[in-house]
Amino acid sequence: MTTPHYDPRACDGTNGTKDNPVSANGRVTPGERHTIPAREGRAVHLNPGDRLFILNEQGHQVCDFFALVHGAPGEMLSMEHTRTALGKVYVRQGDTLVTNRRRPLIEIVEDTSPGVHDILIACCDQPRYETLGAKGYHDNCADNFRMALEAIGIAPIHVPSPFNIWMNIPVAEDGRYAWTPPVSRPGDHIALEAKAACICIMSACPQDMTPVNGIDTQPAPLIFWVEKVGE
């Protein structure tokens, strides 16, 4: 299924992400709720100070979250730079995530969940599912990232590691980590404030071959909306 020469713009397959953007340019009406179907992704523009709310209705669904600086496609939210900036491998409410230019981009301003999220693991992609034993194409967050951007007219130049919201990857003292179910609960939400104009990409992670979206569960939809501070 994968191509011999890697092209960060090329998808290994397709789903409804490509043909169902929130709008042609990714801009939305404040307060209007949008659904990210299970296994799909969506992209949305934020202005500085805008707050993006992501709702985990069923509680067990992971959201792979990416962000690109508007007008500077080579500058993007970077987990490796965020780990350096924060000096830790877990994030909490009040933390600010930075770009690969070490500039503040996203602040976690509200989190009703127990606060367990991941900034270590790369997004799932077709090669990952092949190593897990998948036969044929499997929906994945890398393709959802690509398609969500393509749907609003943006061609990615790199697939960065995401902020894995609600993903539970505990790290042991010996450095080993485990793939475990989320501890988030039905109805939990997180609010992220943009510190600069950016395009945010969210993927309702399609992972169904490890327990990161729960045990004996299937990938579920997510809901999001944007609020203007002071409105």
How is the chain split into domains, by residue range?
A: 34-219
Rounded Cα distance between 91 and 83, Å, is 9
Q: What mean pLDDT value characterizes the chain? A: 96
What confidence score (pLDDT) does residue 229 get?
77
Rounded to the nearest 10 degrees, how much is the dihedral formed by the CA atoms of 225, 116, 186, 190?
Answer: -20
Q: Which two tokens stand for residue 174?
A: 């010996």
Phi and psi angles of residue 58, each rounded to the nearest 5 degrees, phi first: -90, -15
Determine the Cα–Cα distance for residues 160 and 64; give it in Å rounded to an integer: 11
Q: What is the pLDDT of residue 115?
A: 97
Could you tell me the pLDDT band of residue 6, with boundaries at 50, 70 and 90? confident
The pLDDT value recorded for residue 32 is 97
Lowest mean pLDDT, pick from 1-10, 13-22, 92-101, 214-223: 1-10
Q: What is the pLDDT of residue 2?
A: 53
pLDDT digits (tens, 9 = 90+) for 140-195: 999 999 999 999 999 999 999 999 999 999 999 999 999 999 999 999 999 999 99
CA distances from 218 to 8, 10, 58, 213, 221 (A): 28, 27, 10, 7, 10
Asked whether 67 and 26 are in contact (CB, 8 A), the reply is: no
Degrees, nearest 5: CA angle 147-153-157: 65
18-62 pLDDT per residue, tens: 999 999 999 999 999 999 999 999 999 999 999 999 999 999 999
Phi, psi of 196 (to 5 degrees): -150, 160
Does 91 score more than 70 pLDDT? yes
- Show the tokens assigned to 7: 């092209």
- Please give the pLDDT value at position 73: 81
